[in-house]
Structures are given as structure tokens and as C-alpha cells.
Amino acid sequence: MTKRRTWVYFIPYGLWLALFVIAPVALIIYQSFFDLGQHFTLTNYSTYFRSATYLKMTLNSVWYAFLITLFTGLISYPTAYFIHQLKHRQFWLLLVILPTWINILLKAYAFIGIFSQAGLANQFLTFIGIGPQQILFTNASFIFVATYIQIPFMILPIYNALDDLNPAFVNASKDLGASTWQTFRHVIFPLTLPGVKAGVQAVFIPSLSLFMLTRLIGGNKVITLGTAIEEHFLTTMNWGMGSTIGVVLIVAMIVVMLLTGDQKTKGGTPR
Amino acid sequence: MTQPLITLRNVTKRYGNHTILKNINLTLESGKFYTLLGPSGCGKTTILRAIAGFMSVSEGDVLFAGQRINEVPANKRNVNTVFQDYALFPHLTVAENVAFGLTLKKVAKAEIAERVAKALKLVQLAGYGDRAISELSGGQQQRIAIARAIVMAPKVLLLDEPLSALDAKLRRQMQYELRDLQQRLGITFLFVTHDQEEALAMSDEIFVMNQGEVLQSGSPVDIYDEPINHFVADFIGESNILPAKMIEDFQVAFGGHQFECADAGIPDNEPVEVVIRPEDLTLTTLDQAKLTVTIDTQLFRGDYYEIAATDTLGNDWLIHSVNPAEDGETIGITFRPQDLHVMRFGEKEAEFDARLETYEELEDDGVDET
């Protein structure tokens, strides 16, 4: 009786898991073993790992995802720390979350307007006497917009980690003679590191496969793995190769998860 | 007299309209065990935070060895704290926790290792250095928290209800150990607790607090035997407190009779309160009785019987007796004059001390004459 009930609750989750997680991954892995002529083969993988273009693309993806994560982190940690000290922190946090409710494409198009030749950014540059510059379709603008979009996803876990931090740890550190900076370095940062890791996961992995932004903002100068997959599926119709890159992407994600996962630290898990 | 180590002078702390500390004056001397005792929310932890430097006071001065330290940040004060929930850093090992403060001070590595080992040995956890904090029991964490503080060799150690999370048995053991540690190190301890037994057992001097004020300070015996008012008498130990009238010096009336007492210096016929500790009451036969009571209930407490009784005027009495009585029995109780303690309404500590001094001298003289 009870057992049957439990099964009923599992149905929505089970369906979701089967249809949207297991089936797609299985299909991608399956597809990656077929070439254009529908022959079962390993050539896709050998092509991928022998081709300088693909490897360079992979490196590019990782490099840009790394830069985006780095800048996001450099902005998010101080921001989260600052918001956490404020009086109406829930309100200020809401303002950070607000942009995530707007569709990413909409935000991308907004930036096209802002960064265009006659856009707001260039108007400002003209005003301060630098004159109009090529902003749109540069790597810098790509990283800028991607960072902008990812920031809330990094701020939230860091904020939560700061919120979970027992204030007694900070007092204890000061009590033992630590300055504000030493307290941050030796106590606050190590104890909020799980939040940073969660943020890195939430930012780095999606950044690996960004493709709309690379085209709309980056002008396709940077070809990331995401762009490559899209091209293979929609333009060159080489589903096998697209799937292979997909598999590489999945493996990369797993590696990132393992690297940033919760290792059992020597001192045990923070409170 | 030696220079007091810590002095609070007219310290007041307000949060908005709420006054947490009202004009606190207290002095801590070197090498003694002090306790701040009071119910939760009475401001005792606030005093600790003011001394540690986690909080600034609204008015008044905090002095350390005669120097005003109101503006000195916590990390520059020569005091250390043992926190209520220990606040041991979970990402560091036991040894790293204990070494935390010394490492920041850039003490030589060999010296750190030596001092950490010594501190761990002092709290009887030698060899635990490599353990993770999460592997320790509550009592062990407690000791590490103490080790982490004393390794800094502070002049004053502040302890914020450090035993409240331990079970009864461990708590008793830690009381002995803390007292022993304090005496061996010769550091001033300022211990915060709401547990009156703990305070009585460990302290050289107790400050009894309520609602942001220090009501009475003194040795455990003084406070137990001569509480200043109803609150202190009720909070420290169990007591029978009765409305009474001061007839004249050394004569007080309550329960429909007049009794000899050991108190004086109170205007004649002033309404007062009388405290009698349950263990000072003795069951006796009716013809030797000072008061007659009827036994309501009794509980066996192991080393004594706790007896609840009612006298002829309807006052409740609590009696600790080695021998049992019978429920419903009418029985006599007796006490000695010095077992009575008279308390005036609204008397301040200074007045109280001054009054006690006048007639205690008188009493001593009387003893000399006989």
C-alpha cells in the first residue's frame, strides 16, 4: 500500500528523468558513433581529437568560460559580501536577481542597441572626447555581456554561504587577534568557499556552451563548442560530429563538477 | 591595593529605546574567578562583549589596567573569549585552531608547536592535534575552545556560558577543571552563567544581574547568606521568603509571631521581607516549635527530603530535612536567629553594605564582651 503510493509520487520525476535526461544523453552518445553515411564508426572521435580546429575551439571555449567565470567571481564575491552587510539586504538581493527574470535573448538584443555604432556607449565615448569605437562584435564585448548575464548566478550561492556563516567565527577570529583582512582571508573566505564552488559550477558549465551570445554580441569571432554544435546540427547537418562535440562537452562538465565538488576537507564540513 | 585589571565605569548600553545595561560599575582584579550571574536577557553577555570589544558602549568607560580601551578594537585587546557555541573553525584541525592566534602574531613555528602542545596538555587533550573539529565530542570541543584562548596567554579570559551545552555530569567535571585551571594559570576569569549552582561552586566573586543592573556583588557565601532583595534570594538557591515587620533591632515579626534575628539598622516597624533557607529549618516536636506547619507533600532527593508544608496563616514553606515526615502531619519547625535574614524593600547595594557593616561590628564587639 505505502509502497505503491511512493511509486505514484515518483512518476513525474521518473518521466522527466527518462525523457529529458537519460534519453537525450543516450541519443547523443548513440549519434556520436555514426558518420554522415549512417555507418557505425569511431571517425568522429578521431577527427575531433586530431583536428587542430576542433582542439583549438575546445581550448577557446574553456579559456573564455574561464575568463567569464573569473570576472563574474571577481565582481560577485565583493558584491555578495557588501549586500550581506546592508540593512535591507533582501531588497538589494532582489534587485540583483531581477534581471534573471528577463529572457537572455532580449538582454542580448538590448546590448546590441547599447553597443552599436550610434548606441549609448559610443555616444558617451564621443561625449568624453574619445570618439566612436567598434564595441559590438569584439571579444571584450562578448565577455562583458556574458559576465553581466552570469553574475546573479554567482552572487546567490556566495550570498547564501555568507548568510550561513556563524558570526561567532568572525568574533572568534578577531578575539584571537586577527585584523579584518586576516579574518576574511583565514576564516570568512575558506568557510564560504563551498558557495564560490557552487557559483563556479553555475557559471562555468553554461559558459562552455554559450552560443547565442557569441553570434549576437561576439560576431562569431569566437567559435565555442556551443556554436560548433549548433552549426553541425542546423547548418552542416553532420549530427554525428555535433553529437561527438556534445559528448566532449558533457565530459567537460563532469570534470568541472568533480573539480569543484564537495571534497571532504580535513576540518570537516562547515556548518 | 593592586591596580584593578578591568574596570567598568558608569557603563550604559542602549539599542534604540531599549536599555540593555544601566550604569554598570564593576572592578576585576588580577588572578580571581568572577562570575556574572543572571537570567537570560539580563545583560551579562553584553558586559562580556563590551570587555571583549565586539560591541561599543553607549556611555561610560571600559578600562584595562587603568587605560581607557573603549576605542581599541577586539583584535588589539589582551583578553580572549571562550564562546558559548565554542566557534571552533571547522576548516582547521585541532592544532591549527589552537595555533590560530599565534600564527597571526608571526610567532616562530617551533614556539607555536611547543605552546600548542602545552595548551592541549593543559586541557587533557594531548595528541589530539591532528583531529578534525567534527571528530570531537562536545566536551572535547569545549576544552579545545579553552586551549585556543589560553594559548594566547591573556590577562583576562572571558567565558560565555561555556558549559551550557554539556550534559550534567560532564558539566560538573568541567566546573572542577575550570576552577583548577584558573588557579594554576593565575589568569582572571570572567565567567557568564545563568546557573546559580555553577556560580556558587566556582567563583571568588559573583555579580548578580537582572534587567541590565548589577543587583549585588560579593563572595558566594555572602550572596547566599545575605541576599540583598527578593530577586537575589529567589534566584540564588531555594528559599522561603515571607512578608515581615521589623519590630526593633534584632527583633522581627512574621507568621503571627515575633522572633529574634541577626539584623539591625532598620527603622522600627518598617515592613520588610525575611528569607530562610530550606536547609536551615529543622523539624521538631510541637512543644519546641517556633512555628507549626502541616506537611503537604515530600520528595526524596537522595541526600535529603524536600518537604512542602503550610503554616497556620497559609504561608508555604519549603524544608530540607534528613528525616522524612508524614503527609498531613502537623509538626513544628524551628530555626536559629542567624538563620533569618531580613531584606528591606528597594535597598541599594551601597546602603545595604553600609548597614551590614554598622551592626556586624556591634555584633563582634558583643561577642568580645562575653
pLDDT confidence of residue B69? 94
Residues of A in contact with B85 (CB under 8 A): 166, 168
Q: How many degrees, rounded to 5, is the angle at CA A220 between CA A216 and CA A221?
A: 130
Distance CA B24, CA B8 (A): 7
Residues of A in contact with B81 (CB under 8 A): 171-172, 175
The interface predicted TM-score (ipTM) is 0.82
Q: Which amino acid is at A14?
A: G
C-alpha cell at A202: 553555475
Nearest to A269 by CA among B100, B277, B135, B79: B135
| Chain A from 229 to 268: CB within 8 A of any B CB | 265-268
| Strand order, beta sheet including B251-254 | B257-260, B251-254, B240-248, B271-276, B341-343
- The beta-carbon neighbor of B93 closest among A179, A191, A266 is A266
The residue of chain A nearest to residue B135, with distances taken between CA atoms, is: A268
Answer whether A186 sits within 8 Å of B104, measured CB to CB: yes
By residue count, chain A amounts to 271
Of the pLDDT bands very low, low, confident and very high (cuts 50, 70, 90), residue A263 is low
| Chain A from 24 to 83: CB within 8 A of any B CB | none
The residue of chain B nearest to residue A194, with distances taken between CA atoms, is: B91
- Give the number of beta-carbon pairs within 8 Å between A and B: 85
Query: What does the pLDDT look like over B57-79, one tens digit per residue?
Result: 999 999 999 999 999 999 999 99
Closest approach of chain A CAs to the CA of B199, in angstroms? 24
C-alpha cell at A99: 534581471
Of the pLDDT bands very low, low, confident and very high (cuts 50, 70, 90), residue A2 is low
Nearest to B148 by CA among B173, B127, B112, B120: B120
Higher pLDDT, A214 or B194: B194
Instruction: Give yes or no for a contact between A150 and A196, defined as CB atoms under 8 angstroms apart.
Output: no
Nearest to A158 by CA among A79, A95, A58: A79
Sequence-distant (6+) residues with CB within 8 A of A125 are A131, A132, A133
Q: What is the mean pLDDT of chain A?
A: 89
The residue of chain B nearest to residue A167, with distances taken between CA atoms, is: B87
Answer whether B134 sits within 8 Å of A176, measured CB to CB: no
In chain B, % of residues over pLDDT 90: 71
Query: What does the pLDDT look like over B102-157, one tens digit per residue?
Result: 999 999 999 999 999 999 998 989 999 999 999 999 889 999 999 999 999 999 99
Instruction: Give yes or no for a contact between B34 and B205, defined as CB atoms under 8 angstroms apart.
Output: yes
Answer whether B101 sits within 8 Å of A177, measured CB to CB: yes
Answer whether A268 sits within 8 Å of B81, measured CB to CB: no
C-alpha cell at A73: 567571481
Answer whether B52 sits within 8 Å of A171, measured CB to CB: yes
Closest approach of chain A CAs to the CA of B87, in angstroms? 5
Residue A267 has pLDDT above 50, yes or no: no
Residue B265 has pLDDT above 90, yes or no: no
Rounded to a whole number of angstroms, the CA Rg of chain A reads: 23
Of the pLDDT bands very low, low, confident and very high (cuts 50, 70, 90), residue A118 is confident
Whose cell is 565582481? That residue is: A75
**A113-141 as b/e: b if 16+ CB within 10 A:** ebbeeebebbeeeeeeeeeeeebbbbbeb
Distance CA A45, CA B235 (A): 80
Distance CA A264, CA B179 (A): 38
Closest approach of chain A CAs to the CA of B150, in angstroms? 10
Residue boundaries of the structural domains of chain A: 59-260
C-alpha cell at B333: 519547625
Residues of A in contact with B146 (CB under 8 A): none
- Burial zone of A86 (CB within 10 Å; 0-12 exposed, 13-18 middle, 19+ buried): exposed
- Burial zone of A147 (CB within 10 Å; 0-12 exposed, 13-18 middle, 19+ buried): buried
**What are residue B159's phi and psi, to 5 degrees?**
-125, 115
Which fold would CATH assign to domain A59-260? MetI-like fold (1.10.3720)
Q: Which amino acid is at B327?
A: D
Put simply, whether A184 touches B (Cβ < 8 Å) is: no
Distance CA A135, CA A114 (A): 9
Residues of B in contact with A266 (CB under 8 A): 91, 93, 132
Q: How many degrees, rounded to 5, is the angle at CA B334 between CA B331 and CA B339?
A: 145
Q: What is the mean pLDDT of chain B?
A: 90
3-state secondary structure of B25: strand
Distance CA B43, CA B21 (A): 6
Residue A270 has pLDDT above 90, yes or no: no
The residue of chain A nearest to residue B149, with distances taken between CA atoms, is: A176
Most B CBs within 10 Å, among A165, A166, A176, to test the B interface: A176
Instruction: Give yes or no for a contact between B363 and B262, defined as CB atoms under 8 angstroms apart.
Output: yes
Nearest to A100 by CA among A29, A167, A149, A31: A149
Closest approach of chain B CAs to the CA of A168, in angstroms? 6
- The beta-carbon neighbor of A178 closest among B87, B91, B104 is B104
| Chain B from 31 to 70: CB within 8 A of any A CB | 52-54
Residues of B in contact with A175 (CB under 8 A): 52, 54, 74-75, 79-81, 149
DSSP secondary structure letters along B220-237: HHHHHHS-SSHHHHHHSS
Put simply, whether A117 touches B (Cβ < 8 Å) is: no
DSSP secondary structure letters along B259-291: EE-S---S-TT-EEEEEE-GGG-EEE-GGG-SE
Residue B4 has pLDDT above 80, yes or no: yes
pLDDT confidence of residue B214? 93
C-alpha cell at A7: 511509486
Distance CA B31, CA B155 (A): 9
The residue of chain B nearest to residue A172, with distances taken between CA atoms, is: B87
Higher pLDDT, A25 or A36: A25
